[in-house]
Amino acid sequence: MSITPFDLQQMLSRLTANKVRQSPALVAEQITVTHAHIREKKLHERILSYCALRQWLVIHSRMDMPTTVGIGVPDFVILTQGARTLLVEAKAGVKKPTPAQLAWLAWAAKLGYRGAVCRTFEEFLKFVEGEWTAELQSKQ
């Protein structure tokens, strides 16, 4: 079965519109917004926009509550042309990946998948274009 990019966009729009919304009081009670949160949210938004522009499929973890997928699962699982799968953990500022996140990415690498911790949009672009080097990885 195949669908057109337009059909996919329509389906994703409907899914976004159907998300369950929590009350603002409950959300405010659960989250204290800091500058680091804002920087990371902007990084997530830029990555999502770039992937949409390229018409890639993206599985994106929520930022507003603890994960419902699994401990250590990266923020983004990106499916690109040529059957490439990219795993991206976004960490803006000085935040460090947890040991579980690093272990998850290491195990995925052992299985042959490409994954990275990206602190900036520029690092994300280098990773996507295959320019990810040991130098960048050592900064993690």
pLDDT in tens, 53-81: 999 999 998 776 666 778 889 999 999 98
User: What is the DSSP track for 51-81?
Assistant: HHHTT-EEEE--SSS--SS-TT--SEEEE-G
Tokens 């949409």 sit on residue: 52
Q: What is the CATH number of the domain that holds 110?
A: 3.40.1350.10
CB 89 within 8 A of CB 105: yes
Residues of the chain with pLDDT under 70: 1-2, 11-12, 14-33, 64-67, 131-140
Rg of the chain's alpha carbons, rounded to an integer? 16
| Domain residue limits at 13 | 5-138
Would the pTM of this model clear 0.95, i.e. be above it? no
Report CA 2 to chain centroid distance, whole Å: 25
| Token pair belonging to 127 | 């990773």
Domain count, the chain: 1
